[in-house]
Structures are given as structure tokens and as C-alpha cells.
Amino acid sequence: MKNILFVQDSTPCIRTIKIADALQKNGMNIYLIHRNQTPKEMYGFGNSSFTSMIRLSKYNFNKLKIIKNLISEKNIGLLHYHNEPDSLCAAIISAQIKIPIIYDQHDFLSFKKKLSIKEKKYEKICNENAAGTIYITESYKNEVSNYYNLIENSICFSNYFPKMCILDEKSFLPKLTKTDGESHLVFIGRISENKSDHRYMLSNLKKLSENGFIIHVYPSKNKKYKKYRNIKNVRMHQKLPYNELIREISQYDFGLTIFNNEVAEKLPHIKFAFGNKTYDYLCSGIPVIVQDCLDEVRNFIINNNFGFILEDYKDYKNISQNKYSQIVKNIIENRNSFSMQNQIHRIIDFYKKTSLEFNKNS
């Protein structure tokens, strides 16, 4: 099984690109059918991870025909569907095409909004009738099982980072703390000034500022963010290209994986998920400070000795240079285990297992 078809009824996301790139490097041909922007149009890279790409038009009513034709023309052995929305995947599964369909649930939509009867039907088909399913984390999957009767043929596969993104120790920037004696934290990603948004960080950043930390914020969009700029020790920076960002943040002491305290622990898609920023900090060689209510990231960081829990200020506020250096050394020695290239064999093995089971039952 060498030819795999990726389908995403939206702009391909970073997770899709990372998995495709790692599979390609293992000798597979990855074909992509998608909607909206190409990877390069969205992120500035990623097109080369695919053998070919077909963009569905906004009003295309022949989606299934296009998919079936490509499967036949390219001798596709397996279809890997990347979710949100789920309607196209449900249609593909219901069409009973003669290859296994794997449903990769990046986001469980029932966690994020009230679904219509049709949307619930699509979600049910995808979770219960695919040949195989992939979830981000085990606890996320367990929460989904409260809604549907999940199939046994399933794995959990995180948003691992590309090996090439690891910043070599020799490329680390000098720590700012050595020049001013202050403790510098960094947050990267989307922020909001809307109190109901889980990306509303003001209360957490104010507390950190009051505790004497300098917080550097690299938002995903270049806006004014007046409320953030008004916090005493917050330093707002411009959005940077990814590789520049990874090097830039290596000068800080800790990376922050945090969300809005008021809503984060009530949202399963936040509490049980595992986003990209935690891995980005590790790529930069800096320890992570994680909010206690973020179960999956917290357990990962603490179990691997990669950082600290946000609320335990005493553990990291006046950390000794020796202890800090030991944590950084541990990160450098062990972070490679969590690269996409070192984890992709699990996807390849899952493809093989799913194909065997599908063909056996066909």
C-alpha cells in the first residue's frame, strides 16, 4: 500500500501537512483533495508534501465522483479523511467505496457548538462507521465515547512536530535573564480581548506580571491589543515566520501553555486536547509552564520533566540555574522522541492493520 488519498473539506491544516510530509519521507505517495486555500497559500509551505492536489470548487456537486475517479486512476489503497466539516466523510463512508476510510478527528464538533440534526448524523457516521479512527489524545477520545459507540480499530496520535523544526543547541539565543536578572516568559499563538473566548489571557498575564515575571507575547495576528499592552510587564511583539519564531523564543526562560481560566476547564476540546505550541517551546529548548486544568498537556510536561504547573509559582519563580539547566538538558536529550518522523511508524502500522481487517471483511 503505497498510494494514500488525503481528503479535507477545508484548507489543509498544519497537522495534515506534517503527517503527509512524514509519510512521503517514508516512501508513500500522498494525494490531496481539499477545498479553499492550498497549504502554500495559507502557510507559505506544504505543497511539496503531496504528490498532487485537487481543489474542490465552492459549488462542486461532483465531489464523490472526483474522489472515486482519483482512487481508480492512482490505484489508491486507503483514504485518510481529516475532519471539520464531517459531511463529506459521512458521504464517502455511506457510498461504500472499495477501500478503507480512516476518519482523523482533529476537532469534535459537538464540543464546540450545538449541532443540527444533520450534523449530528454526519458525526455519528464518521465515529461509528469508518474502517479506522484517529483521535488527538486518549482523554479526548474517552469524552467522545460519551456521545457515540466508538469502533475498536482506533489510535491516538498527537500533533507532533517536524524533526527539521528542532532548534540546535548551538543556535539558541543568549538568555535575556543574564542581562537583566529578570524571569522572562513567552506566549505564542492567538489571543483575544473577548472575555468569553478561551484565548482571553488577561487575568493569567496580570497575575504573572504581579508575581514579577516579564511576559513576551507573539500573537498570530498583528493587531493593537491595547488591553494586553496596558499590563505592566507584558511585551507585545510582531508575528514572525515560524522558523524565525522558534529561534526568537529560545532567549526566554519558559513557554506558556495557558487559556482563559474562566472557561478552559469547562471545555473538553481545550482540557483534553494537545495543541502545537507546547511542542514549539520544546523545539526551542525552553521548559513549559502549563495550566493545571489542561489535563493532557499537564501530564505530558510533568511526566517527562519538561516544565512546571502554572499555579505552582514557587517551583519556577526563583529556580536555581543548576535545576533549570538540568531541565533544559533533559528536553534536548528527549524531545526528538516526539517528532513526527519518530512517531509516523504508528500511522503506517495503523494503515496496514486497517487495510488487512477491511480486506478480510470485504
| Same domain assignment for residues 182 and 47 | no
| Same domain assignment for residues 173 and 267 | yes
| Same domain assignment for residues 247 and 310 | yes
With residue 350 as reference, give the H or E element that holds it. helix 340-361
| Same domain assignment for residues 281 and 357 | no
Over range 100-129, report the average pLDDT.
92
Q: Is the pLDDT of residue 157 over 80?
A: yes
Nearest to residue 260, comparing CAs of 315, 204, 213? 204
Provide, rounded to the nearest whole percent, the portion of the chain with pLDDT above 70.
99
pLDDT the model gives residue 176: 97
Instruction: Write out the three cell numbers for 67.
Output: 474522489
- 190 close to 270: Cβ distance less than 8 angstroms: no
Range of the domain at 189: 163-338
pLDDT the model gives residue 198: 84
pTM passes above 0.85: yes
| Same domain assignment for residues 169 and 288 | yes
pLDDT band at 60 (very low <50, low <70, confident <90, very high): low
Over range 340-347, report the average pLDDT.
97
Nearest to residue 89, comparing CAs of 76, 99, 77, 104? 104
pLDDT the model gives residue 50: 98
**296 vs 310: CA distance, rounded Å:** 14
| Same domain assignment for residues 324 and 354 | no
Instruction: Tell me whether residue 83 is exposed, middle or buried, using C-beta atoms within 10 angstroms of its C-beta: 0 to 12, 13 to 18, 19 or more.
Output: buried
Over range 66-74, report the average pLDDT.
96
With residue 310 as reference, give the H or E element that holds it. none
Whole-Å CA distances, 91 to 68, 81, 122, 335: 12, 12, 8, 39
Over range 122-145, report the average pLDDT.
95
**DSSP characters over 135-175:** ES-HHHHHHHTTTS---SSEEE---PBPGGGPPPGGGPPPP
| Same domain assignment for residues 89 and 235 | no
| Same domain assignment for residues 125 and 204 | no
pLDDT the model gives residue 131: 98
| Same domain assignment for residues 292 and 169 | yes
**60 vs 82: CA distance, rounded Å:** 19
- SS3 percent helix, strand, coil of the chain, rounded to 5, is 45, 20, 35
Instruction: Give residue-wise pLDDT tens across range 223-279.
Output: 889 999 999 999 999 999 888 999 999 999 999 999 987 777 777 677 777 888 999
- 10 close to 34: Cβ distance less than 8 angstroms: yes
**Tally of domains in the chain:** 2
Q: Which of 95-104, 121-130, 173-182, 191-200 has the lowest mean pLDDT?
A: 191-200
Instruction: Give residue-wise pLDDT tens across range 295-310.
Output: 999 999 999 999 999 9
| Same domain assignment for residues 146 and 289 | no
| Same domain assignment for residues 178 and 261 | yes
pLDDT the model gives residue 272: 79
pLDDT the model gives residue 110: 84
What CATH number should be reported for the domain holding residue 270?
A: 3.40.50.2000
| Same domain assignment for residues 276 and 349 | no
